[in-house]
Chain A
Amino acid sequence: MKKHTIVALVQDRPGVLSRVVGLIRRRGFNIESLAVGHSETPGISRMTIVVEWEDVEQVVKQLYRLIEVLKVSDVTNDPTVEREMALMKLHAPPAKRPEIVALTEVFDAKIVDVGANTMVIEMTGSPSKVQNFIDVIRPYGIREMMRTGRIAMVRGARGHTAEEYVESANGHAERVPAMN
């Protein structure tokens, strides 16, 4: 099974995250990463879902069944910018700090907190770069770590603005009455 990156535009209503996750869970797939946040338009959120799927087209269609889902794209094969953020609280006694600072600079990460024996480092980058940094820094002793999950955006003019969907909300589909 291939890993797929799905980007979904959804209406910001209660339960929408649950519905999306539930639909994927129903098919027995494990979500590897999920990130949700506001889009450029109020009331609309963007989700990035990374999951191993065999039949991604079918799941994309199923997601469209959800009332709040506006747009779903499988961007796996598209040129995308992908980012992830990790916060790491390191075991950092004074003697080790120069090495850690040096590595942090090499990876373009940021030191955001320094305590008596700890440092918190913020690392943002492509998922593989974040992973490389974690691998390098791990021997110093990671006390706590949090990762945001991946967010992805298609490069260039392609992609979907939330605006198009807000605009089209005027009125609703004609109702065709059943007759028998």
Chain B
Amino acid sequence: MSEKRTGAQVMCEALIRNGVEVMFGIPGGAIMPFYYAMWEYRDKLRHVLCRHEQGAGHAAEGYARATGRLGVCIGTSGPGATNLVTAIADAMMDSTPILAITGQVGSHVLGKDAFQETDITGITMPITKHNYLVKRAEDLPYVFEEAIYIATTGRPGPVLIDVTKDAQQATIVPNWDIKLDLPGYKPNYRPNLKQVREAIKLILSAKKPLIIAGHGIIMSGAVEELRAFAERTRIPVITTLHGIGAFPEDHPLSIGMPGMHGWVHVNRAIQECDVLFNIGGRFDDRVTGKASTFAPNAKVIHVDIDPSEIGKNVKVTVPIVADARLALQAFLDEFPPDREAFAELHGHASDWMEHIREMQAKHQPKQQYLNRSDTANMSLPPHDVYAALTKALNSRGNYRVVTDVGQHQMWAAQLIDWYRPRTHITSGGAGTMGFAVPAALGVAIAHPNDTVWAICGDGGFQMTNQEMATIVQEGIKNVKIAVINNGYLGMVRQWQELFENKRYSGTPLSGPDFARLAEAYYWKGITVEHTGQVEAAIEEAYATDGPVLIDFRVEREVNVFPMVPQNKSIGEMILESPHQS
């Protein structure tokens, strides 16, 4: 280990030491030494050449979200680095552990506006969990160790390491004897038992308790603990957009998704509940609607590993700073201290569930939206695509679904049946259009035996579809793309229809013939225009040993309902277009 190494070799070895197996990136001048070194390690480190650094970033996110492991993306200095910015911001919002490695101009010209120089550490300061500028090769072993530790522990997030070209080229004897020195970074994993007991008292006193399961359940691997806790207490479980998969939707205690496009009975239950137990969710404004009117009768218990999330948007009665899995384990250990109260809770919980089911029956969300009467005359209502796709997914299993951002994303969250963690991957916090195709690339590499469906709108698809070439170059066969093509930036058009008197400003959108575009990328392309063709197209996609794109040319002006208008209480939901009757 006392052999001399270049900084670039040290970077490769640091990644291998930390279990990294795959990286997504694009080379360029300032990162060339790293690519030069990568060649020696190509048996252990797979490099996937993307077509745009944003694609590399989203692919790293997809890989991380599908596995819980670190995703790595690479860009050169200047534009290579700035192209990563959107993906880094997306990873920050969705707590996704990625490491972005960027090349930087030589340290002797740093700050002199050199060719392809950009202050990427300055640019990414507010959108990374932490970032580094490395000017000396000697610092690389420590910085990589610390960066990966920070990205993957506590509340995960993106970390960027910017390495000057001369630091990559310099020859050193690396010191791998690393002791992390992070006095200001001590994520608290174990819950305070006093607070857990207080929370249990609150739960036992509840007549209308609810659990909200967020992304933290999936990130901490708490799916089994959540299930055990819900079953023991019989409290109904809500799953947020990122909590999808944390609790199986066919479970009798599962009631569905809350928020802006959540189900009526779920939002009404939140407005009625008296104890709201949020585990690993951050009370995003898409969940709460107008925060001051959210869950007005509820005492709130909030488990989050990030103390700054507690009390940020919603007032909390019992705060618990902890890892969701360890917190739930503590809840299971401490329950039940009082048999009588426990029996009473069960009684209340089943009355309450009955009430929620009654509300649900009144609105019949999924069935109602799958068999809508207003879609009877449409040649291809989008809901028919989801009905057929759900059927295919359920009958074949082994699926991962990546969705982009917009109407198709909300329909997917609402209409597909979700059972397992890390099967639903989407851009939630940042709402990044263009996420799905490259993220699906990362997911497909992580899970080569699963069928990875990327569901896109025609808008987001046109932002990053060049990664279809990457998928072919890598020999990936398990990706299928479904474009829900309505010729609009559909979600914005929906808002314009409902709230701006149908001024379709900047939303009508043309595209190429997507099936022919797919063929140009050496994919199979299928066009679907009628409901009658949907099932056969999906069957053909499954039967094809290779990537397939289906262009579903759906009815153009169908809306996502239910919907809570911006800044309204989640109790005030719109169920249908006021313009249609």
Binding site for B on A (CB under 8 A): 10-11, 14-15, 18-19, 22-23, 26, 57-58, 61-62, 64-70, 165-166, 168-169, 171-180
| Number of CB contacts from chain A to chain B under 8 A | 86
**Beta-carbon contact of A70 and B422 below 8 Å:** no
Q: Which of A15, A57, A65, A176 contacts B121 (CB 8 A)?
A: A15
**Beta-carbon contact of A172 and B125 below 8 Å:** no
**Beta-carbon contact of A67 and B182 below 8 Å:** yes
For B522, list chain A residues within 8 Å (CB). none
**Beta-carbon contact of B307 and A61 below 8 Å:** yes
For A173, list chain B residues within 8 Å (CB). 153-154, 185-189
Binding site for A on B (CB under 8 A): 68, 121-122, 125-126, 129-131, 133, 149-150, 152-154, 179-189, 218-221, 223, 306-308, 310-312, 323, 325-326, 421-422
Q: What would 6 A/B residue contacts be, using CB atoms closer than 8 Å?
A: A58-B308, A61-B310, A70-B183, A169-B183, A173-B153, A176-B325
**Beta-carbon contact of B185 and A180 below 8 Å:** no
**Beta-carbon contact of A62 and B308 below 8 Å:** yes
**Beta-carbon contact of A179 and B221 below 8 Å:** yes
Give, as a whole number of angstroms, the nearest-CB distance from A6 to chain B: 15
Nearest residue, chain A, Cβ from B68: A178
For A10, list chain B residues within 8 Å (CB). 184
Give, as a whole number of angstroms, the nearest-CB distance from B308 to chain A: 4
Task: Add 15 more A-B contacts to A62-B308, A174-B189 (CB < 8 A).
Answer: A11-B183, A18-B122, A18-B125, A61-B310, A61-B311, A64-B307, A65-B129, A67-B150, A67-B184, A168-B183, A169-B181, A171-B180, A173-B154, A173-B187, A179-B68
Give, as a whole number of angstroms, the nearest-CB distance from B16 to chain A: 18
Give, as a whole number of angstroms, the nearest-CB distance from A61 to chain B: 4
Give, as a whole number of angstroms, the nearest-CB distance from B330 to chain A: 13
Give, as a whole number of angstroms, the nearest-CB distance from B19 to chain A: 11
**Beta-carbon contact of A180 and B221 below 8 Å:** yes
- Evaluate whether A65 and B219 lie within 8 angstroms (CB atoms) in the complex, with A168-B183, A173-B187 already known: no
- Evaluate whether A19 and B125 lie within 8 angstroms (CB atoms) in the complex, with A10-B184, A67-B150, A179-B221 already known: yes
**Beta-carbon contact of A172 and B180 below 8 Å:** yes
A77 to B219, CA, bound (A): 39
For B182, list chain A residues within 8 Å (CB). 67, 169, 172
For B422, list chain A residues within 8 Å (CB). 180
A176 to B155, CA, bound (A): 11
